[in-house]
Chain A
């Protein structure tokens, strides 16, 4: 079963615009992670936010976490054509199989030049 579900499934924007992707999950987490995947490649880690954090920034990325709603969002500001990729959230549960890292279905982002 997929723990995280991203929304929207696909997003197409113009270069320079902001892109927002959302992730919802079901169980208690230790942390939530966002990854990027270029077509046919492995995933690359972008940012990790712990359960006691509400917001985190890294360059043009901003991640928020609302544990009461079991949701997170990833904002990419001033998007570039090179940001075109699939973006996934992954949840690290706080109990049970504590090292089972579970991924969502992803958001396909297309940035048009």
Chain B
């Protein structure tokens, strides 16, 4: 089955820690995206990538980093510089000018 998989579903971070959220797709999509969603809010774009080894900052990139070494994978690292990381993180992929396919999300909590 083709799809997009995020892991883990729940993640807990201690103060000062970096954590990495995984996103894998087998849809052969060029573009991949990371969004942050706070309770009752819309989606805000963190980073996106149109092609392997290339990515662009979105509206709220500070405190986050990404890599795109393979077409299938677009991991997001939440660094210690992100002071308020508790949120729901969504990864998506799509082909050019088509609809996006989303993973089931990772809920990150600072403990």
Contact surface of A with B, Cβ cutoff 8 Å: 1-2, 30-31, 33, 35, 40-45, 48, 88, 90, 92, 97-106, 108
Contacts and interface: CB of A to CB of B under 8 A. Distances in A.
A31 B90 contact: no
B75 interface: no
Interface string B58-84: 110000000000000000000000000
Contacts, number: 65
A42 B96 contact: no
Nearest to A94: B97
A106 B40 CA distance: 9
Interface residues of B, number: 31
Nearest to A43: B102
Interface string B1-24: 000001000000000000000000
B43 A88 contact: yes
A101 B100 contact: yes
A79 B96 CA distance: 32
Contacts of A2: 42, 44
B92 A101 contact: yes
B104 interface: yes
A48 B97 CA distance: 10
Contacts of A102: 45
A67 B25 CA distance: 33
B48 A99 contact: yes
Contacts of A104: 42
A99 B50 contact: yes
Given A99-B96, A100-B48, A45 B101 contact: yes
